[in-house]
Amino acid sequence: MTAEHPTVLTIILNYKTADMTLQSVDAARRAMEGIAGGILIVDNDSQDGSFETLSAHVAKQGWDADGRVRVIQSGRNGGFGAGNNVGIRAGLPGGARPDYLYVLNSDAFPAADAIRVLLDHLEATPGTGFAGSYIHGPEGDTHLTSFRFPSIASEFEGAIRFGPVSRLLKNHKVPIETPTETIQVDWLAGASVMMRQSVLDEIGLFDETFFLYFEETELFLRAARAGYKTDYLPASKVAHIGSASTGMKEWKRVPDYWFDSRWYYFSKSHGRAYAALATVVHLLGGFLNWLRCTLTRKQRNIAPGFLSSLLIHDLRALLTGHRAFKVPEPTVPAPQTRA
């Protein structure tokens, strides 16, 4: 339990979506009513006038009264984790540290009680480090955001895409069917997650080596290894558009930084030998999927060039010990959600 009136700092990372971010802030303001703390908008070096637009609107609406809503500039676009770290380090007005940090995507809109539900749960369960919301689309469609940690077994299951194998490895599949009641999960997509400040003090912030993807997975893994639970709360409801900043829905090929993040996650968390084996197993599963689909003339539903890019990238990473690709100047930097 924290103090009688625990404080929450809501962090919303913006990248070239100023108008949508302001809608998210407006929803967060309503959801923060009666909760001590504030809202911090971090512009992730958009360089498109977003910072000025956000600052002007906040001032015009009077949202910045008593520092309740603030706008700051990250100074560089280091990706999702780095941008949120800027907000976490900034803290509350005057630099005060909150009891909890609530990370909200710029294209996510919490219901009026969504933040309160997460806060009350963390207050009542000291052993829980992170708590996340039920995420749904604008039309009410469920977004899958509850997951197990990736493993060698999950790499094979996800690549082969074959019913009997998936049933055999059902307890290793990364996606967890959206729960209908509060349960413990391994990790959650970062569209709407509340974190205990004291846990971050112990395990550290987002690893800024990641540009996009896997950064929250690795953070949740560190928390789990330190003995802290992650809970999924369907009672906390948040509408989410999804991929508004990343442009993931328009991807024709998986970007190089995704492969960088995947390799770094496995090698940092489990070692280079484990990372290499995870790749070999994925390639094997992918080949068997290709063979089955070729023989049955079924569509594979896999991104063009994915397996060859994975092979080339991870072979170079294994041999050199460094990233195989240089991360390009991003066209987008944000969530991860991956929802």
> What pLDDT, on the 0 to 100 scale, is given for residue 331?
40
List Cβ neighbours of 333 (8 Å cut-off, separation of 6 or more).
15, 44, 77, 78, 79, 80, 83, 211, 212, 245, 246
Domain-embedded: residue 84: yes
Domain-embedded: residue 298: no
**Per the structure, how many domains does the chain have?**
1
Domain-embedded: residue 1: no
CA–CA distances in Å: residue 229 to residues 129, 140, 172, 225, 235: 6, 28, 18, 9, 18
Domain-embedded: residue 93: yes
Q: Which residue has the tokens 């803290």?
A: 91
Residue by residue, pLDDT tens for the chain (339 residues) are 555 789 999 999 999 999 999 999 999 999 999 999 999 999 999 999 999 999 999 999 999 988 899 999 999 999 999 999 999 999 998 889 999 999 999 999 999 999 999 999 999 999 999 999 999 998 889 999 999 999 999 999 999 999 999 999 999 999 999 999 999 999 999 899 999 999 999 999 999 999 999 999 999 999 999 999 999 999 999 999 875 444 455 557 888 899 999 999 999 999 999 999 999 999 999 999 999 999 998 888 888 899 999 999 999 999 887 554 444 444 433 333 333
Q: Are 85 and 169 in contact (CB under 8 A)?
A: no
Three-state secondary-structure class, residue 139: coil
Domain-embedded: residue 63: yes
> What pLDDT, on the 0 to 100 scale, is given for residue 4?
73
Domain CATH for 67: 3.90.550.10
| Range(s) of the domain holding residue 203 | 7-249
| Two structure tokens written together for 282 | 């994925």
Largest Cα–Cα separation, the chain: 66
Domain-embedded: residue 143: yes
Domain-embedded: residue 119: yes
Answer whether 0.85 is exceeded by the pTM.
yes
> What pLDDT, on the 0 to 100 scale, is given for residue 155?
98
> What pLDDT, on the 0 to 100 scale, is given for residue 339?
31
- Beta-sheet pairing, 69-73 with 192-196: unpaired
> What pLDDT, on the 0 to 100 scale, is given for residue 60?
95
Domain-embedded: residue 126: yes
